[in-house]
Amino acid sequence: QSVLTQPPSVSGAPGLRVTISCTGSRSNIGAGYGVHWYQQLPGTAPKLLIYDNTNRPSGVPDRFSGSKSGTSASLAITGLQAEDEADYYCQSYDSSLSGYVFGSGSKVTVL
Amino acid sequence: VQLVESGGGLIQPGGSLRLSCAASGFTVSSDYMNWVRQAPGKGLEWVSIIYSGGSTKYADSVKGRFTISRDNSKNTLYLQMDSLRAEDTAVYYCARESPDRGGMDVWGQGTTVTVSS
C-alpha cells in the first residue's frame, strides 16, 4: 500500500483535460516537501514531467501542469493527445520513513 | 548526459548481486544518485540514495541487505544486494537528482533482477 494515493485510472477524449490527484499526509506533502511527477510509457524508464510542485523541465510541453495544496497535489493534462497514454507517478519525501515515496500510479487512457 | 545500468540477472534466493550504473556527461559525486525498482506489473519503489556528501538512506524493505556506493574515479554508482528474496525481483533503475532542485531528471534504461530457485 503506497504512502501517496493516486486513482488507478483516468481517461478522457482527445483534446480534453484530465487531472490526476496525489493524496499524502502531514509527514510528506503536508510537511512542505516538494512533489514531483513522472510519465512512464510502456516498456520505458520514467521521465520527469514536473518538479518541485509546479515546474516543468525544459522540453516538457506546457500542456502538463502541477499544483499542490495542503496534503495533496495534482497533475493536469490539457489538450489530451494519444501519445499521453502512459502511467503517471507522483513522488515526494516522507519524514516518518526518512526516504522518498512514490504514488501508487495512475494509468491515463485516451478514449 | 546518460546512465547505463548493468549487472542484473537470475539469482537464487539468499544470493548476492552487484548492480552498476555508469554515468556520462556529469559527475555522480556532484549529484544525488538514486536506485528505484519496479516489480513486474507494479509501480515504482524507491530503494536507496547516496548524497553528494556521501551519506546514504535506504527503504525499510532493503535496509541491512542492500548497500549503495559510488566509485568517483569510474564515475559509476553501485548497488550491492545481499540476502536476496523473491520479492526483490524487479527492474532496477538508477536515477540522478540535482542538489539544486527536486525530482530525478536522468534515468537509466534499467536492469532486470530475477530472484528464483
| Predicted local confidence at residue B81, as pLDDT | 98
3-state SS track over B60-87:
CCCCCCEEEEEECCCCEEEEEECCCCHH
Report pLDDT digits (tens) over A65-88: 999 999 999 999 999 999 999 999
| Predicted local confidence at residue B44, as pLDDT | 98
Residue type present at position B103: G
| A35 touches A99 (CB < 8 A) | no
| Predicted local confidence at residue B4, as pLDDT | 98
| Predicted local confidence at residue A2, as pLDDT | 84
Chain A residues inside the 8 Å CB shell of B60: 97, 99
Mean pLDDT confidence for A32-41: 97
Chain A residues inside the 8 Å CB shell of B95: 46
| Predicted local confidence at residue A1, as pLDDT | 77
Burial class (CB in 10 A: 0-12, 13-18, 19+), B100: exposed
Give chain B's mean pLDDT: 97
Mutate to test the interface with A, among B4, B34, B42, B44 (most CBs of A within 10 A): B44
Report pLDDT digits (tens) over B56-104: 999 999 999 999 999 999 999 999 999 999 999 999 999 999 989 999 9
| Predicted local confidence at residue A23, as pLDDT | 98
Q: What are the Cα distances from residue A19, in Å, to A10, A78, A80, B53?
A: 8, 9, 11, 38
Mean pLDDT confidence for B33-60: 97
Mean pLDDT confidence for A50-62: 97
Give chain A's mean pLDDT: 97
Does B103 sit within 8 Å of A36, measured CB to CB? yes
Mean pLDDT confidence for A51-62: 97
DSSP A31: G
Cell triple for A23: 493524496
Q: What percent of chain A has pLDDT over 90?
A: 98
Mutate to test the interface with B, among A33, A100, A101, A107 (most CBs of B within 10 A): A100
Nearest in space to A100 (alpha carbons), one of A89, A110, A108: A89
Q: What percent of chain B has pLDDT over 90?
A: 98
